[in-house]
Structure 1
Amino acid sequence: MTGHLLCGLADNPALPGALLDRLVERAVADDAEGAELADALSERPDLGPVRAAALAARDEHVAIRLAHSGLLDAADVDPEARPAVALALLDEGVAPPGWARLLAAHPDRGIRETLASRPGLPLDVVETLAADPDVAVVAELALWTTEPSIAARLAAHPHAEVRRGAAFNEAVPPVALITGEGLAPARSCLVCDREEIPFTHDPYCPRTDCELRGGAACAGGHESTVHEIREQAARNPATPAAAAASLVGDPSMLIRWALAERADLSQELYARLAFDPVLGVRAEAAGNPAIGEPLIRALAAGGGGDEVARSLARHPRVPLDVLAQLAAATRIGPTLLPRIATATPAELAEAAGAADARVRMLVAERRDLEPELRDRLAADPNAAVVRSVAPHPGLSEERLRAVVARHGALVLARVAANPDAPPDLLEELARHDPPVRRALREIAGHRNATAEALSPCLADAKARPRAGGHPALPPEVIVDLLADADPAVGRAAAANPALPVGVMARLLRS
């Protein structure tokens, strides 16, 4: 089978226009492998309208992708025959307005439900969807409509599922859904619509046709849906802080967790949430950018657990001395933290001089360090610090070689990831004995890799597909890789821009 090779050709940026035409014809005509080939071709930026229309006619998924990429014209689509494609064109604002009215009356509930989530619908279409006989369509509209009058009306809808959608809609503050003031109780929910109550849905329900959410329950008061309404309202940023704050003592962990995400509560309420008995609530509050320095310091000193400490470390305004304390007490790992990303040059220089290597490692994750500071970290005696700074652009060949000489295999992969690593150094890293597999995988995709550096990469199963697509490979090696037992390697070789055009043509004739 050559399907993977044809898909590789479809990925090849050097494919001549005449061969691209033949590949499109193959995709349209081939029933067995045409769908996969058409999918690969739809990613190309050079299709043009004629080829795009041919591929769209062959495959619905491809047509939707081409519509979103701006390569499909509304004149080429029948909205009644291909409503999903019509929805994609509506999303892009290139479909006639009448299509929305047509789709609002479509017999497929899924089409109407999807339409209800789209912004900018004409008011008459919104009204049609608000009166839809299927509650799923109305609930979707309640979640997404930007019409305040419609959102307010749906928040008082007699069906609890519609209210659930309205509870997270920012068009109207869902205060009444929290307090219940002026709001008649809901008359039904999805559970009592379908089951004899009292009923609690099995989270592991084996029925393939069941649409109830896991744990959905109703004993006459639509209990699970009412809980979800309150949770959504607690999370909704349009809910006034005072209304949301009334839920801070709620027995539900999920509601308190939702409150911990908010950006508008008082520091006193954040403090309650930050010392909640549930770890997840505490960790969410600890990472909330709205909490102030006093609470950050109290949490850091309180020993709330590693998850809370890691959330604090990711806080964008955590004081650097607190961050140093957290790095010493908790495994954070080599990652660019928000506070380090926004640190001033003076702050970075101070942190880079910390006695604790774990703090210096955090600074080394920045990729825009001043040259003097970058070079100082590259000369650090700690291998973890050096590993973090090794991929930093601008490091000279001399410094990269010094790093390898000092730390050996511990840093090879990160040196190989440096975009400025020169070809001769990559060749030496690739020949390291024993091989450092992570380094080979970095070299396989490196822009400076030579054929000599890529050759050892072909011996590693994970590096081989990346190396197979590298244009520095000799053409004869690329051609040999087309017959590789691993289809991913063959596809990468077929996508290699250095593949001879004659071989591309031969693949198309096979």
Structure 2
Amino acid sequence: MNHVLCGLAANPALPSELVDRLIAVADAEIAADLVGRADLSHAQAVALVSRVKDSAVRLAYEGQLTAADIDPAAQPDAALALLEERAGKEEWARLLAADPVVGRREKLAACSGLPSDVVETLATDSDVRVVAELALWTAPEVAARLARHPHAEVRRAVAANEATPPAVLAALITGEGLPPVERCLVCDREETPFVHDPQCPRLDCDLPPGASCDGSHESTVHDMRQAVLRNPATPTEAVVGFADHPSMLLRWALAARPDLPSQVCERLTADAAPGVRADLAENPAIDDALIRVLAGDRGHDVQRRLAHNPHVPLDVLTHLAGATKIGLTLLPRIAAASPAEVEELAQSRNPAARMLLAQRRDLPAEIRDALATDPDAKVVKSIAPHPGLSEAQLRAMVGRHGVRVVAKVAANPDATPALLEDLTRHRPSVHKAFREVARHRNATAPALLACLADKQARPVAAGHPALPPPVIVELLTDLDWQVVEAAAANPSLPLPVMSDLMPQL
């Protein structure tokens, strides 16, 4: 791989005439970078396909090719890409529905807006994988018909399709009104009873781990029920009975549904599986009383997930902030806090609560400034990237809390060039700070030169346009290929150098 040419192919400052020269010599790797160019013309896209045929698929997805540019017989995958984007021709769908490659028929089956005759062809395909893919994405009336398909794999796909009519989804749970399932992927391939070894040594085996069939197609039927439970179109009354089901996976799927009645939520609160209770904890369906019950649940991940519930009361959230590791993330309840609640959180005696509030990036100036002087380093670390902070405030943070906040201060969008330079000279040094400075829009040449000394920041700094051109040129021969590509893609690379790097035609 020529990393210099790959970098040049991605360089936004590369002139059109040099793009043409790259297209003329492009291989698959260079083409992959050329495809992503925002300034690639239609003529250049067509020329690139003639040079590297495999680039047609991505160019089709990018909207750089039209139906007139594609021969579906010679470029079936590109034709599929345009069909997926609703930009292909109907006759292509008819051609591809008979394609000998199963994977292409599968991909076609996932396309929307197919002609009705093509849908009918795919619905009777000889390979059940194609029919199942159609069942997963098709319109309500076709999904309802495929729910009667004799193969369990097709019914499992119907169960996951959100366009499937609610009454059909309910019927898939009970089997009422549907003919019995006759086959599944397991009994298609193995003598039953059979249980697939999770450590199966056969390289050509694609059965899911633990798949089993004793004649009742139990593993696929179980997966079908799980899909029905996860489908938001399934009627609530059809699923509530699974709260006491012996399968933990089915109860787990039920626990995440936002339409659960309170009595079902209450039963799941006492579930033996922590995973079930954790999903329930984040479910907006639970009421205040159950939230408070789960707030004391020490099961794995229950309290952390409860903190992400959009309806958790602030007093409970404050307790959770001190009881579990939530991390530097903006929680839904914090994002939705009213001005009065913001004031309350800012004055909380619990630094963990103030830290969570500091994750908001729309705080009133007076609250932002108060949090910027917080005595707790975790709070300051959380507020440091907030826009609007002055250079003096940012420097004061570093002065008080040192290495604990340096990287987050460097990430502040308003950090000045002088401050960024000083952060690269901080002792002891902070590796994360170098990476933040290297990608900062205000980084200067001295700051970037310091970043080049850090192994992880070096490739980032090599692509920064404020890097001096002679240094960029020097980096083109670096031992690290990532640095080479970044330097070649740097828009500040001198034009004569770009031209000299081009292979002669």
TM-score bucket of the superposed structures, by smaller chain: over 0.9
- Aligned equivalent of 1:11: 10
The C-alpha deviation readout for 1:365-410, integer Å capped at 9, x for no partner, is: 1111111100000000111100110111000111111111111222
| 1:425 equivalent among 419, 427, 446 | 419
Q: Is the 8 A contact 1:191 1:199 kept in 2?
A: yes
Instruction: Assess, with a 3 A threshold, how the Cα gap between structure 1 residues 192 and 306 changes in structure 2: closer, same or farther.
Output: closer
| 1:506 equivalent among 481, 497, 500 | 500
* Structure 2 residue 255 is matched with structure 1 residue 263: no
Q: CA RMSD in A?
A: 1.3
**AA aligned opposite 1:196:** E
| 1:166 equivalent among 155, 158, 167 | 158
* Structure 2 residue 40 is matched with structure 1 residue 47: yes
| 1:68 equivalent among 57, 61, 80 | 61
* Structure 2 residue 216 is matched with structure 1 residue 221: yes
Equivalent positions of 1:489-500 (< 5 A) are: 489-500=483-494
In structure 2, C-alpha distance between the alignment counterparts of 1:223 and 1:410, rounded to whole Å: 54
* Structure 2 residue 248 is matched with structure 1 residue 253: yes
The C-alpha deviation readout for 1:11-48, integer Å capped at 9, x for no partner, is: 11111111111011110xxxxxx110000110001111
Q: Is the 8 A contact 2:274 2:300 kept in 1?
A: no
- Aligned equivalent of 1:38: 31
Q: Is the 8 A contact 1:341 1:366 kept in 2?
A: yes
Equivalent positions of 1:55-454 (< 5 A) are: 55-59=48-52, 61-146=54-139, 148-170=140-162, 171-173=164-166, 174-301=169-296, 303-454=297-448
Task: Give the Å deviation of 1:259.
Answer: 0.7
Q: Is the 8 A contact 1:274 1:283 kept in 2?
A: no
| Structure 1 range deviating more: 172-181 or 276-285 | 172-181
In structure 2, C-alpha distance between the alignment counterparts of 1:17 and 1:408, rounded to whole Å: 48
Q: Is the 8 A contact 1:375 1:395 kept in 2?
A: yes
- Aligned equivalent of 2:469: 475
**AA aligned opposite 2:222:** H
Equivalent positions of 1:18-33 (< 5 A) are: 18-27=17-26
**AA aligned opposite 1:204:** Q
In structure 2, C-alpha distance between the alignment counterparts of 1:468 and 1:116, rounded to whole Å: 45
Q: Is the 8 A contact 2:434 2:457 kept in 1?
A: yes
The C-alpha deviation readout for 1:85-107, integer Å capped at 9, x for no partner, is: 11110122211111111111111
Task: Give the Å deviation of 1:299.
Answer: 1.3
* Structure 2 residue 453 is matched with structure 1 residue 459: yes
**AA aligned opposite 1:445:** R
**AA aligned opposite 2:17:** A
In structure 2, C-alpha distance between the alignment counterparts of 1:83 and 1:260, rounded to whole Å: 43
Instruction: Assess, with a 3 A threshold, how the Cα gap between structure 1 residues 250 and 432 changes in structure 2: closer, same or farther.
Output: same
Task: Give the Å deviation of 1:222.
Answer: 0.8
Structure 1: runs of 5+ lacking an equivalent: 28-33
- TM-score under structure 1 length normalisation: 0.96
Q: Is the 8 A contact 2:194 2:212 kept in 1?
A: yes
State the identity %.
Answer: 61
Structure 2: runs of 5+ lacking an equivalent: none
In structure 2, C-alpha distance between the alignment counterparts of 1:287 and 1:24, rounded to whole Å: 51
The C-alpha deviation readout for 1:408-445, integer Å capped at 9, x for no partner, is: 22211111100100111111111112321111111111
In structure 2, C-alpha distance between the alignment counterparts of 1:123 and 1:274, rounded to whole Å: 47
Count of aligned positions: 501
Q: Is the 8 A contact 2:86 2:112 kept in 1?
A: no
Task: Give the Å deviation of 1:112.
Answer: 0.9
**AA aligned opposite 2:156:** R
Task: Give the Å deviation of 1:159.
Answer: 1.2
Task: Give the Å deviation of 1:61.
Answer: 4.5
Task: Give the Å deviation of 1:64.
Answer: 1.3
**AA aligned opposite 2:206:** E
In structure 2, C-alpha distance between the alignment counterparts of 1:244 and 1:56, rounded to whole Å: 51
| Structure 1 range deviating more: 172-181 or 52-61 | 52-61
Task: Give the Å deviation of 1:204.
Answer: 2.1
| Structure 1 range deviating more: 117-126 or 35-44 | 117-126
Task: Give the Å deviation of 1:60.
Answer: 5.0
| Structure 1 range deviating more: 371-380 or 341-350 | 341-350
In structure 2, C-alpha distance between the alignment counterparts of 1:214 and 1:78, rounded to whole Å: 40
Q: Is the 8 A contact 1:306 1:330 kept in 2?
A: no
Instruction: Assess, with a 3 A threshold, how the Cα gap between structure 1 residues 142 and 367 changes in structure 2: closer, same or farther.
Output: same
In structure 1, C-alpha distance between the alignment counterparts of 2:128 and 2:305, rounded to whole Å: 39
- Aligned equivalent of 1:31: none
Instruction: Assess, with a 3 A threshold, how the Cα gap between structure 1 residues 81 and 208 changes in structure 2: closer, same or farther.
Output: farther
In structure 1, C-alpha distance between the alignment counterparts of 2:157 and 2:52, rounded to whole Å: 33
**AA aligned opposite 1:162:** V
